Amino acid sequence: MGHFRGAHRFFVFDKAVGPKDLQLFYFKEVQNMKRALAIIGMVIFSAVFFIQALMPASGLAKPITLSYANFPPAPTFPCVQMERWKKEVEKRTHGKIVINTYPGGTLLGAKNMMDGVIAGQADIGCLCMAYQPGRFVVTNATALPLGFRNAKTASLALLDLYKKYRPKEFEKVKVLTMFTCAPANIYTKKPVRNLDDMKGLELRASGGVAQALKALGATPVGMPQSATPEALQKGVVKGAASSLETLKDLRYAETCKYVIMLNGPVYPFAVVMNRDSWKKLSDDVKKVMEDLDFEQAEWTGTYMDKHVKESVEWSKKNHQIEIMKLSAGEKAKWDALLEPITENWIRDAAEKDLPAENIINDIRELAEKWDI
């Protein structure tokens, strides 16, 4: 038996071999090595390709950028909640979504917000439904004088109401959340303690609040909030009706020293998204946004109520305003004058084939449910 020792291997032959046998042997060994190297190369290439395919989207694809339009100035509560929502979505989607916000009507105005979002001028928009009372009949019912005590209660009642009835006016958009401002109260330059004091009193108001003031005998004057401080100083109006954060934010407390607690109408808001923009999102991103709807409504209402308290305390400390409540007898008189507003809404909504009485009953029940 012959032996052959290579540099790295030891070969044993059962018989004598010649040069041709050795040449053939080496040729086969080289071919086997080439095949082995080829297989190893293919395995490495496949592994690299597979790893790249599994890499997070944020490492390969650019994030989706969305535009979010809003109409009030940046410091106001609808825009504060917008910035909070943006931050939460970007954080919870791990950079898959980037949201550019446009406050102050820089992209869409208050009255064309809904149609602008439907048309794709903005991916997302925040609208006040009270500005279009004939369009959002069901959800705008929360703007009736139903006695909400705070913004959190009204916001959660509004969102629940929408989810129950799914009004057709929202079919062309994806609703992301809803919320309201705090209830409107009356602040004036002179005390108001009864209906006689209200008679003919010029007060800045709009929407359902103006309707309520008119029923109480006052003279509502429509004008932008931004124009009201000057109008108060010049005596064009003798007061205003709004949620009380404006005492500080718009410095109404400098001229209006008296506040009568009405717990009047709220203004309902909706945050809506363009349907095509929504369809382009991945399922995990959609889930993040949908899971935020209740949380965002609650957060906004809580923020609003806290801000109202801060505004009232600031106004008491810096401008010595007086907060007044109606006596039980006087409040009953005011409520009796406001009741026909709701009755008229029920009649008009029923003529549009809506379950009007059920809607009002639902709002009242939801107000009790969330008044905690």
Q: Structure tokens of 293? A: 């709807």
How far is it, in rounded angstroms, from Cα 53 to Cα 206? 56
Residue 34: per-residue pLDDT: 57
Q: Structure tokens of 278? A: 């929504």
Output DSSP code: residue 258.
E
Residue 182: per-residue pLDDT: 97
HSE at residue 294, side-chain half, CA atoms within 13 A, is: 6
Residue 3: per-residue pLDDT: 46
State the DSSP H helix or E strand holding residue 273, giving kind and residue range, or none if neither.
strand 268-274
Residue 4: per-residue pLDDT: 43
Beta-carbon neighbour count of residue 116 at 10 Å? 18
Q: Cβ distance 249 to 76 under 8 Å?
A: yes
Q: Hey, which residues does 219 pair with through a beta bridge? A: 202
Residue 226: per-residue pLDDT: 75
∠ CA 20-21-23, rounded to 5°: 65
Phi, psi (5° rounding) for residue 245? Answer: -65, -20
Helices (H), the chain: 19-54, 57-60, 77-92, 113-119, 151-165, 195-198, 207-215, 228-234, 246-249, 275-279, 283-319, 328-351, 356-370
State the DSSP H helix or E strand holding residue 124, giving kind and residue range, or none if neither.
strand 124-128
Q: Which amino acid, one-letter code, is at 141?
A: A
Q: Cβ distance 156 to 297 under 8 Å?
A: yes
Strand order in the sheet with 239-242: 219-221, 202-204, 239-242, 185-188, 258-261, 322-325
Q: What does the pLDDT look like over 300-358, one tens digit per residue?
A: 999 999 999 999 999 999 999 999 999 999 999 999 999 999 999 999 999 999 999 99
CA-wise closest residue to 243 among 214, 266, 272: 266
Q: Cβ distance 296 to 179 under 8 Å?
A: yes
Residue 100: per-residue pLDDT: 98
How far is it, in rounded angstroms, from Cα 211 to Cα 370? 26
Query: What residue spans define the domains of the chain?
Result: 12-54
Residue 60: per-residue pLDDT: 56
Taking the chain (372 residues) in runs of 10, the rounded mean pLDDT of each run is: 45 48 51 58 50 48 94 92 98 97 96 97 96 92 95 98 97 98 96 94 92 96 85 94 91 94 94 98 98 98 97 96 94 96 97 97 97 82
Residue 10: per-residue pLDDT: 40
Residue 206: per-residue pLDDT: 86
Residue 96: per-residue pLDDT: 96
The full DSSP string for 77-89 is HHHHHHHHHHHHH
